[in-house]
Structure 1
């Protein structure tokens, strides 16, 4: 069954494995070519180090110019780092000054976001690997030249790979997003199971939604970076990918458009088959999405699909029975909610069917949403780098400054410990080679030490476990066989899997990376296995230092929660405001006697685009808030602040965004807005502005207005609770961190 697809199958068809394969090949090629053909082993290793630093920046998604500029920056700044570190490596005192300063400087690059953090890490990596052995001045220049050449090689290789394999990248990004959407549908289906725990279901749903938002953003940045311009084969493929993406986003909106009061629904319909049919329909649709995601990434046409016609007809029959029993008069809001659930399941089934049509051999090159034809680039993620962002964070209350200080302190402690360890071993008459690779301690620190305490502690455990297992596997391998061909094959596989798993399973990535490095050292020094024990000792020391340094000027997650809550509330404000503007313009266009107004049409299209962009921003803000909240829950209990308030804010913001998505289309189709409805909307706006409001005790529920009553009341309640919780949420005081 597709619903039981093993995660390993997803991985091998995913962009994670594909990216790891691309990066691994690009990193290994310089070493294999130079060592295998010209027998220049040391030069090959240095060139591969330069290529590895550029490969770190080579991530999927975003406009092509961002990727190119990032890799060029890695080449230039990385080469400069190698030059500075190389000259300092021959002078111990200078090295003690340069390494902590560079560690601080490059750790500050986190102010530029994810790509800035990757660039900083790449430079720290090349700094650490350059300081391994002292270099003479002429060796420094050659070392830098080889590293630069390796970076340039990978840059050219990556540009060629992206140009040739662009469609494969789009397929994998869409597949990952569809798999995440299917997981979200399964999490949502649990609410219709009367025997499941609602609190547990909500936690699973918020996790699934945050993951789905991240995957959708990745697909958005990949699919929208190059739009179709003509009618060639490449443009046909791009249009099909765009159609899949547009309908996938529409499916997301359909799924999250209504936040159902499942507790009330269970009380009102404890033994109704309606809930069973709704659960089964969602699970069938999720299985169909899994199958479609797998077919997309395999490049195959759809050959088998599920059907939810039986479930939809059963739900329609049950609704008719409820109407015959008078539910539409006795409980009009509950009945209207059930009708909405039925309609949204039907819409979801239609969208899943259309996604399947897009990847069939019958699909054409017509964009399904003409409104977005000239405006898709507005949905791309934009990044701006300004030097002022760096200088403005050089203060004690900046989390980036504190993180950079921790990294610098960690590298300084590692260098001190390395010297003491070397002196002790020499004094005891033991082999000084045991400390010859002590740079590994610093490498472990810059890998493990992260801005957040919870992530640092988590990575410590994964890194230790991965290194231990990797060392054991290497020792086993060296004692089982001595065939260099087998070593080389395992080295290539370990490199690819190390790159591919780093974003989804850090412990497995640590296993393969450890195995890869030990095999590299074995090729360079095949006469001893002492390096295995050294790797393990250095890793333990590095993890210990990283954990201790995580308590230096710590910046706990609760310090971020206030700003993230404000950002989420502002996103919901913008979402509601743009939605109300869109609904008002739609009513104006449909008003009797309005006629044809080109200016009104233009304003309406612009308003709809702003509403869609605001909806995307809400999903991103909600994902950021959710991720930070659960990271805080992994921190020590004494560092968790305002947990009930933040949990309520998470739930109520989710409710508010869902009901806005549900209410705006209904408001747009009304001939006019009744007084009670308008007063309720005004109250929601006021609560989100932090002002006092007095919502009406009752609103109009006649006819089609019954479908608006439930979401509107939920919006009023949610916005009021958000206002209350925000008033009781103290702003973070960095001085108390």
Structure 2
């Protein structure tokens, strides 16, 4: 009986926490809060435990560490900053004008300081957050150092749990992010399977969905790269074996990503021209099975198990291979290369990767102060908007004697993002989440009115908030509101009473944040389109040249591949953001959509050539076509940079007689790239920035 329950407990742990990094993160934070509440309850000062729990929330949103050494350094740094900023609040808050100057100036310089080095972004946000938390729980009759001291205790308790986790598993953060990436790859493959079969009309929606997933997938890959760089700087040579294994996993992810985004032919053409509909259905089935394999691969990373290919994947692969041998298709070359690409993904998952001592490209993003103080710098503009929000919110708080007016400032901090699109979305999500949170929170308070009940609500809402913080902000906003209500019920017994002012403060803070992004140096996306399009074409060109250069190292090749995908993602994000801007500011939205589609298609065709590059033999004619493609891309860049006046007319298309090619199969890739380059050039001729 004991063994049975133990087995079930282990399965429950693995299924609900070990395989769900967000659940594990939320559980760790909740455990820190329970520990704090328990300690201070035993000490006879339970309300101090609530202050510490708020400090734990701030610390959890601040930490960004990947190694024990950096965690120890962060504990000292976060604790020091929390103590200093909280102390200044306690000392200056009785003097409204002086405190207002401190609040506005400190928030401005803290947010800019966070941009000097990217890993300090979280620290900057946490520091501003602790200033606002200190306003909420300000106690004029208490010693000035009491609340700052409790926040330091919060840092120690929470960071201690982080250090324990890192001692037990030094690569926990890296495993979590790698697993997230492979789950996104699985999502991409499942969406791409819908191409088989598909019509031209259906493909637009599928491509739009793929573009959004691709943004997430590439961003996740970049996040892993940053973690690897930071972790690699902390490790000595004796600790490199396991680390290099994870570098290999990341390189594998990039190669799988390249295979996933590659296109060998128009998919509606394949659907129509293949003799057997079973072949098309089989390709879709194979991609879905690869999606399942990617999900399973993610689970194995988290469990630290060896991946085993599923019988369904092997059966589908064998059946489809047999089917392809029996069916000759009109587009046999396209189908063969598409099949080789899909088959290679299966083999990549099944391969046993040995750790490789790979040198990561370390990039140092430190900036100088003088580079930040420019209206052209979007980080500077964001800091100005945020500090303006704080100034307006604090002024309203004092003029109208709003007792909990700090909620206005906190709401502005959370809603005000660096782009109009992100701010607009956060605006609505915050308001909806707050309203729903008030309803749920009051209902729970009536059902569980006791102190024990409020503690349960507090811990549960904290867990749910962190579980959904990165994935569903509306749910996160709901439960941070419930958390606040529980805190006020436990501290003052006034949770329900403060909810109406909280709704009003949330509305005011959200409106202030929205107006700041709307009128203070608004960064409308059409202004960025030209530069991002030029950058995308330049990176596509370099990537294409690296594909044709078979002497290039894998590491350098992947570097150029990442740069091309990064530029493509930035272009896609401009178009995505532009759709949410005011109608009057949606200039060039149609060209933006067309360029995004054409550039992504060009990149997918280059990727298709790239995934087969090691098995292809390029001859003289291939390099002749390559030069024509490079010439076209250069002409596109010239038109974009100088405008139509300074560019000479060129031939509409380039056709090399097929009989002159010794290896006609290479024309499949090069002709697709050539045609897309020509389409991009023609699109560039009809746009005026």
Indicate the TM-score class for this superposition, using the shorter chain for normalisation.
0.7 to 0.9
Confirm or deny that 1:377 pairs with 2:377: no
User: Counterparts in 2 of 1:349-428, with a 5 A limit?
Assistant: 349-354=346-351, 367-368=353-354, 373-378=356-361, 382-388=363-369, 391-422=370-401
C-alpha contact (below 8 Å) 1:64/1:225 kept by paired residues: no
Confirm or deny that 1:563 pairs with 2:531: yes
C-alpha contact (below 8 Å) 2:543/2:561 kept by paired residues: yes
Q: How many angstroms does 1:729 deviate by?
A: 6.0
Greater alpha carbon shift after TM alignment, 301-310 vs 618-627 = 301-310
CA distance in 2, matches of 1:67, 1:725: 51
Q: How many angstroms does 1:113 deviate by?
A: 7.2
Confirm or deny that 1:688 pairs with 2:633: yes
Q: Which residue in 2 is equivalent to 1:511?
A: 478
Query: Relative to structure 1, is the Cα distance of residues 78 and 701 closer, same or farther in structure 2, using a 3 angstrom cutoff?
Result: farther
Greater alpha carbon shift after TM alignment, 568-577 vs 241-250 = 241-250
Other structure's SS at 1:550 match: helix
Q: Which residue in 1 is equivalent to 2:188?
A: 184
Q: Which residue in 2 is equivalent to 1:428?
A: none
CA distance in 2, matches of 1:60, 1:730: 46
Confirm or deny that 1:344 pairs with 2:290: no
Query: Relative to structure 1, is the Cα distance of residues 194 and 662 closer, same or farther in structure 2, using a 3 angstrom cutoff?
Result: closer
CA distance in 1, matches of 2:327, 2:613: 26
Deviations 1:244-298 (A, max 9, x none): 5444433223223334312332443386432121111111222233344345435
Q: Which residue in 2 is equivalent to 1:525?
A: 492
Q: How many angstroms does 1:91 deviate by?
A: 0.4
C-alpha contact (below 8 Å) 2:393/2:409 kept by paired residues: yes
C-alpha contact (below 8 Å) 2:244/2:358 kept by paired residues: no
C-alpha contact (below 8 Å) 1:445/1:543 kept by paired residues: yes
Structure 1 unaligned runs (5+)?
A: 1-7, 328-333, 359-366, 423-434, 586-603, 732-737
User: Residue 427 of structure 2 is aligned with which of 432, 435, 460?
Assistant: 460
CA distance in 2, matches of 1:444, 1:686: 52
CA distance in 2, matches of 1:704, 1:20: 60
Q: Which residue in 2 is equivalent to 1:487?
A: 454
CA distance in 1, matches of 2:608, 2:320: 20
What TM-score, normalized by structure 1, do the two folds share? 0.80
Q: Which residue in 1 is equivalent to 2:11?
A: none
Greater alpha carbon shift after TM alignment, 717-726 vs 281-290 = 717-726
Q: Which residue in 2 is equivalent to 1:256?
A: 261
Query: Relative to structure 1, is the Cα distance of residues 126 and 727 closer, same or farther in structure 2, using a 3 angstrom cutoff?
Result: farther
Q: Which residue in 1 is equivalent to 2:590?
A: 644
Confirm or deny that 1:55 pairs with 2:34: no
Q: Which residue in 1 is equivalent to 2:29?
A: 23
Query: Relative to structure 1, is the Cα distance of residues 491 and 87 closer, same or farther in structure 2, using a 3 angstrom cutoff?
Result: same
Q: Which residue in 2 is equivalent to 1:662?
A: 608
Q: How many angstroms does 1:165 deviate by?
A: 3.1
Query: Relative to structure 1, is the Cα distance of residues 263 and 273 closer, same or farther in structure 2, using a 3 angstrom cutoff?
Result: same
Q: Which residue in 1 is equivalent to 2:4?
A: none
Other structure's SS at 1:392 match: helix
Query: Relative to structure 1, is the Cα distance of residues 259 and 518 closer, same or farther in structure 2, using a 3 angstrom cutoff?
Result: farther
Deviations 1:483-509 (A, max 9, x none): 322322221121122122111111111
Greater alpha carbon shift after TM alignment, 398-407 vs 693-702 = 693-702
Q: Which residue in 2 is equivalent to 1:297?
A: 302
Confirm or deny that 1:444 pairs with 2:411: yes
Structure 2 unaligned runs (5+)?
A: 1-13, 639-647
Q: CA RMSD in A?
A: 3.6
CA distance in 2, matches of 1:704, 1:351: 31
Deviations 1:197-228 (A, max 9, x none): 01111101111222222333344555676679
Confirm or deny that 1:204 pairs with 2:183: no
CA distance in 1, matches of 2:17, 2:672: 40
Query: Relative to structure 1, is the Cα distance of residues 22 and 450 closer, same or farther in structure 2, using a 3 angstrom cutoff?
Result: same
CA distance in 2, matches of 1:410, 1:230: 45
CA distance in 1, matches of 2:394, 2:231: 47
Q: Which residue in 1 is equivalent to 2:573?
A: 627
Greater alpha carbon shift after TM alignment, 487-496 vs 81-90 = 81-90
Greater alpha carbon shift after TM alignment, 160-169 vs 697-706 = 697-706
Confirm or deny that 1:105 pairs with 2:109: yes
Q: Which residue in 1 is equivalent to 2:558?
A: 612
Deviations 1:645-684 (A, max 9, x none): 222332233233333333356565566621x322221222
User: Residue 672 of structure 2 is aligned with which of 714, 717, 733?
Assistant: 714
CA distance in 2, matches of 1:101, 1:48: 27
Query: Relative to structure 1, is the Cα distance of residues 260 and 84 closer, same or farther in structure 2, using a 3 angstrom cutoff?
Result: farther
What TM-score, normalized by structure 2, do the two folds share? 0.85
Query: Relative to structure 1, is the Cα distance of residues 655 and 9 closer, same or farther in structure 2, using a 3 angstrom cutoff?
Result: farther
CA distance in 1, matches of 2:131, 2:28: 24
Query: Relative to structure 1, is the Cα distance of residues 614 and 73 closer, same or farther in structure 2, using a 3 angstrom cutoff?
Result: farther
Query: Relative to structure 1, is the Cα distance of residues 183 and 50 closer, same or farther in structure 2, using a 3 angstrom cutoff?
Result: same
CA distance in 2, matches of 1:304, 1:730: 52
Q: How many angstroms does 1:321 deviate by?
A: 5.4
CA distance in 1, matches of 2:671, 2:298: 37
C-alpha contact (below 8 Å) 1:211/1:623 kept by paired residues: no
Q: How many angstroms does 1:166 deviate by?
A: 3.0
Greater alpha carbon shift after TM alignment, 145-154 vs 273-282 = 145-154
